[in-house]
C-alpha cells in the first residue's frame, strides 16, 4: 500500500502530525508513506526513515507569480511526481484550499479529509471524497490528525503507543556537543522568548526573574536564550544581561542544528511556538506557556511536559491583539512557571 500525507505547514502543526507516521507503519507493516510539505519546513521531515518520498511545494512563491512560466513548470513537476506514485489513499490533514488542490492533483480515487466544522477553509470539501468526523474526545490536534488517518484502517489510534522524532545529521549532533562542552557542569535550560502572535508572548521581567531563580536553585547551571529574528535577538540579549552570569545568547541555527541542540539540553521553556514542539518531538522536557492559544489543544503531552495556561477567564481566545495584553501576560506568574519547571524536571 502507498499513501500520501498532505500537511504542508506550519512548523508546529507538522510536528504535531509526526505520530501519524508511526501509526501508519504499525497498523500496516510495509506501507509506503509519502508527504507533501512547504519547502521552508523540509528539515522537519528530511531523513525520516518512515517517509518514502518527500514532495516539496512553494505555494507562497507561486501565489506571488501565478502566471510565470517557472511557476507553471514547478506545479506541473509536482503534479507529475504525485501522479507517478499512484496512491491508494490521500490523507489531507491540512484542511484548506491549497491542500485540497494538492490532493486532487494526485488523481487518487480515495482522498480523506475533515468535515466542515473542523476545516480551516470550507472549499476543501470540493476536493476530498470522504470526510471523517472528529469525536468529542479528540480535543488535541494530534488526535484529530490520527482520527482522520485511522478510520480507514479500522484500528483506533489509542490502542497504539506512538512516538515522533526529527532526524539530525552527525555534524549537527557534533556541533551541539561541542557547544555544551563549553558550559558549566550543571543543568542546561533553554528559554525561547519569541513566538508568532503578540498574545502568545510572556512578559520580559518574568524571563529575567525566572532565569535568576533557576540559576540560584541549580548552581553551575546555564540558561541559553534562542531567537528567531533581529528584534528577538535584541530582546534576549537584554534579558541575558539582566539575568547575569550563567545566561548566554545562542547564535542562529538552521532547523536541524537547533533540533540537535534541543535534544541535548535538560529543559526548554517557551510559549506556544515551534522550538517548544521541536523539543517535545525529540524527547526533551518542556514547560510551555499559553494565553491566546489553548494548551489542551496543542501543548506537548506526556511525562516531563508541563503546560501553564493563563487563568484569565478569556484565555484560549485565539485573538492576535488585545487591549488587556499586558495584564494577560502577567496573569502567568513567575511562581507558576518556576513550579512548572521543577515539576517537569521531576518527570
Residue 179's pLDDT is 96
The pLDDT of 196-217, averaged and rounded, is 95
Confidence of residue 197 (pLDDT cuts 50, 70, 90): confident
Q: Is the pLDDT of residue 194 over 90?
A: no
pLDDT at position 196:
83
pLDDT band at 215 (very low <50, low <70, confident <90, very high): very high
Q: Is the pLDDT of residue 347 over 90?
A: no
Q: Identify the pLDDT of residue 299.
A: 96
Question: Is 136 strand, coil or helix?
Answer: coil
Confidence of residue 31 (pLDDT cuts 50, 70, 90): very high
126, 22: one domain: yes
pLDDT at residue 168 in the model: 96
- The answer to whether residues 147 and 213 belong to one domain is no
CB count in 10 Å sphere of residue 232: 16
Instruction: List the CATH number of the domain containing 80.
Output: 3.40.50.2000
Q: How confident is the model at residue 167, as a pLDDT?
A: 96
Residues 6+ apart with CB under 8 A from 259: 43, 166, 168, 172, 278, 281, 282
Domain containing 283 equals: 170-345
Last residue within a domain, chosen from 126, 159, 192:
159
Same domain, 218 and 146: no
What pLDDT was estimated at residue 120?
86
pLDDT at residue 144, rounded to an integer: 97
- Pair 111, 177 in one domain: no
Contacts 24+ apart (CB under 8 A), 250-257: 250/224, 250/225, 250/226, 252/227, 253/226, 254/43, 255/43, 255/44, 256/43, 256/46, 256/166, 256/167, 256/168, 256/169, 256/172, 257/168, 257/172, 257/175, 257/176
In a domain, 335, yes or no: yes
Is pLDDT of 303 > 90? Answer: no
- Statement to judge: residues 55 and 176 lie in one domain: no
pLDDT of the residue at 337: 98
d(CA 68, CA 111): 29
Q: Are the beta carbons of 122 and 35 closer than 8 angstroms? A: no
Q: Are 104 and 111 in contact (CB under 8 A)?
A: yes
Residues 238 and 339 in one domain: yes
Same domain? 78 vs 186: no
Looking at the predicted structure, is the pLDDT value of residue 126 above 90?
yes
Helix 204-217 to helix 334-345 angle (10° resolution) is 40
Average pLDDT of the segment spanning 291-297 = 94
- Residue 224 counted as domain residue: yes
Q: What is the pLDDT of residues 141-161, one digit of tens each?
A: 999 999 999 999 999 999 999
Out of 159, 189, 217, pick the residue that ends a domain.
Answer: 159
| 23 and 122, same domain (yes or no) | yes
The answer to whether residues 151 and 218 belong to one domain is: no
* pLDDT score of 254: 92
Domain boundary (159, 186, 213) is at: 159
Question: Does the pLDDT value for residue 345 go beyond 90?
Answer: yes
Residues 331 and 254 grouped into a single domain = yes
Residue 151 and residue 185 share a domain: no
In-domain check, residue 164: no
Share of the chain above pLDDT 70, in %: 100
Same domain, yes or no, for 155 and 180? no
Mean pLDDT for all residues in the chain: 96
pLDDT tens for 82-98 read 999 999 999 999 999 99
Residue 247 belongs to a domain: yes
- What is the count of structural domains for the chain? 2
**pLDDT tens string 221-255:** 999 999 999 999 999 999 999 999 999 999 999 99
Amino acid at each position: 500500500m502507498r499513501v500520501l500525507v498532505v500537511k504542508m505547514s506550519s512548523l508546529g502543526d507538522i510536528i504535531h502530525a509526526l505520530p501519524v507516521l508511526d501509526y501508519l507503519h504499525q497498523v500496516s507493516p510495509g506501507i509506503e508513506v509519502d508527504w507533501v510539505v512547504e519547502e521552508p519546513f523540509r528539515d522537519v521531515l528530511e531523513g525520516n526513515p518512515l517517509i518514502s518520498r518527500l514532495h516539496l511545494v512553494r505555494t507562497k512563491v507561486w501565489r506571488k507569480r501565478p502566471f510565470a512560466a517557472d511557476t507553471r513548470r514547478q506545479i506541473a513537476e509536482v503534479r507529475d511526481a504525485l501522479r507517478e506514485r499512484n496512491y491508494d489513499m490521500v490523507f489531507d490533514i491540512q484542511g484548506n484550499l491549497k491542500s485540497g488542490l494538492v490532493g486532487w492533483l494526485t488523481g487518487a480515487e480515495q482522498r480523506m479529509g475533515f468535515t466542515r466544522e473542523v476545516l480551516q477553509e470550507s472549499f476543501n470539501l470540493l476536493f476530498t471524497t470522504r470526510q471523517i468526523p472528529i469525536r468529542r474526545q479528540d480535543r488535541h490536534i494530534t488526535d484529530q490528525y490520527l482520527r482522520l488517518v485511522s478510520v480507514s484502517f479500522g484500528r483506533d489510534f489509542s490502542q497504539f503507543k506512538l512516538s515522533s522524532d526529527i532526524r539530525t545529521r552527525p555534524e549537527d549532533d557534533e556541533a551541539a556537543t561541542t557547544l555544551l562542552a563549553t558550559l558549566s557542569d550543571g543543568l542546561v535550560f533553554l528559554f525561547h522568548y519569541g513566538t508568532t502572535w503578540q498574545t502568545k508572548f510572556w512578559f520580559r521581567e518574568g524571563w529575567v526573574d525566572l532565569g535568576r531563580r533557576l540559576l540560584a536553585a541549580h548552581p553551575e547551571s546555564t540558561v541559553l536564550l534562542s531567537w528567531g529574528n533581529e528584534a528577538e535577538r535584541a530582546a534576549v540579549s537584554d534579558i541575558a544581561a539582566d539575568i547575569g552570569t550563567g545566561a548566554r545568547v545562542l547564535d542562529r541555527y538552521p532547523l536541524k542544528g537547533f533540533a540537535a541542540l534541543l535534544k541535548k539540553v535538560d529543559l526548554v521553556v517557551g510559549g506556544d511556538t515551534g522550538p517548544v514542539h521541536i523539543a517535545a518531538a525529540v524527547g526533551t522536557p518542556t514547560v510551555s506557556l499559553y494565553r491566546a492559544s489553548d494548551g489542551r489543544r496543542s501543548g506537548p503531552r506526556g511525562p516531563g511536559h508541563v503546560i501553564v495556561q493563563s487563568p484569565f477567564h478569556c484565555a484560549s481566545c485565539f485573538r492576535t491583539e488585545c487591549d488587556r495584553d499586558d495584564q494577560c501576560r502577567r496573569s502567568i506568574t513567575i511562581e507558576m512557571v518556576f513550579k512548572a519547571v521543577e515539576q517537569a524536571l521531576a518527570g
